Structure 1
Amino acid sequence: MSEERKYWVPALEKADKVLAVLASEPASLKLIDLSRRLEINKSSMFSLLNTMEALQWVKRGTGDTYSLGHAFAAYGSSYVKHYDLNQSFHEEAASARDRLQETVQLAKLEGNQVRYLGKVEAISPVRLQSEPGMLLPAHATALGKAMLAQLSEEELLKLYPEAELAKLTPLTIDNREALFRQLRMIREQGYAEDDQESVMGFRCAAAAIHGGEGHTAAVSCSMLLHQWEVKAGEARAEMIALARRLSAQRS
């Protein structure tokens, strides 16, 4: 058995074949047609289609023919938005990085966590540990706070039902009340900061990207403390300007 197929899931392979056929021939094939075309027995095809219909991967229409379901419209929309934003970020963030000579990052909000999506790195002997795909608590990062500040109090309470918050460093905000006070200030000033709250020795400025699916993305610039003392104002201005440029492209 090849390494590629060592952990293969046959049911997913069958589902993929069904979806490929339905994408090319929507609303023209019934269960029996799919069974014959793909050489999958009727019982297995029934179970497969029944599950896929419940997941909204497929839909059964007039005459019991099948087409792709609503889930794929949502998946496709999400993919396009993510791809376009990531591409735009890399194009737009390069100039901000060059002016600041610091690394610029892109992230989205997932519940009460931040998922890093993109990174435009500056040449530096010190490299940020955050990488695309990595998750960090939103309350401990400037990126997270920039996005949380755009949410309603009701939405925030759902994300933070407990009064106490986990600390990543001794300086991380550790209670909901203090976080919510800071978020109100961030909402007014248009940018967020973290003061060694996720990593000791680093400070960060971030601004939320508007448009698309609400306020679910943001950009940030992190730097060592001695650089922050010199570049803090410039970093705030660059992140606000970068977020505005990306927001304009999403609207």
Structure 2
Amino acid sequence: MSVLERFSFNHATAKFWDQREAVEACARTGSGIGLWREPVQEMGVEASAKLVQDAGVQVTSLCRAGFFTDPTPAAIDDNRRAIDEAAALGAPSLVLVSGPIPEGGTIDSAREGVKEALAVLAPYALERGVTLAIEPLHPMFASDRCVVTTLNEALDLAAPFTAEAVGVVVDTYHIWWDPEVWRGIARAATEGRIASFQLADWITPLPAGVLTGRGQLGDGCIDLKRYQETVDATGFGGPIEVELFNDALWARPGAEVFAETRAAFANALA
């Protein structure tokens, strides 16, 4: 299998591109797609499922759920709906961003909230054939987006559950800095918990909008090829998503961004 056969285009890379057009581009090139809940809901879950099924496009993940560091009933209900949406779309994994430190809380109490929410949601996800994929985010996002910051921390949270119910996301943008990352990848593979593998590059200096400053593959300092070789050596042969939050990319036509990203993927992993 050539590396391009494993390419999956995360729709967030061309955030404002019509979902139908993005799916059609993936169909023409034999690419997978990572979908996001907002465009799916805008089109309708059933209509979105029919779109990808008719096009013969593999949905590699659904983004995103989580934000349950303060696990209120409303937050749990929304996560259950996200699991149902992933199942309807045929997405094998639902990406979880754990959430921020709630007002009046601490990072420790927030992490306890993540544990509580997983205990409630994991059985529900398992029944519906969806893996909850915990995504650790770079520590700069710990206070306002995600209190889970390392692959090993995500694996510790997943440990009480079967690998079919809870796995992890290996996202280069968020974990490249961690000196323990290679051991973390090996551990994730041993435990069968690599639910999603995503690529983005880290550019320097960081743009003013850090959240939307992910670099195109090959434009930054991450050794993307090493990540691919390391993950592949564990026996993972699944799709590789490219997920870029980047204002400059979002301002361009989606078809142009898709073509550029696919070419950059091939070059980075050649």
TM-score for the superposition, normalised by structure 1: 0.29
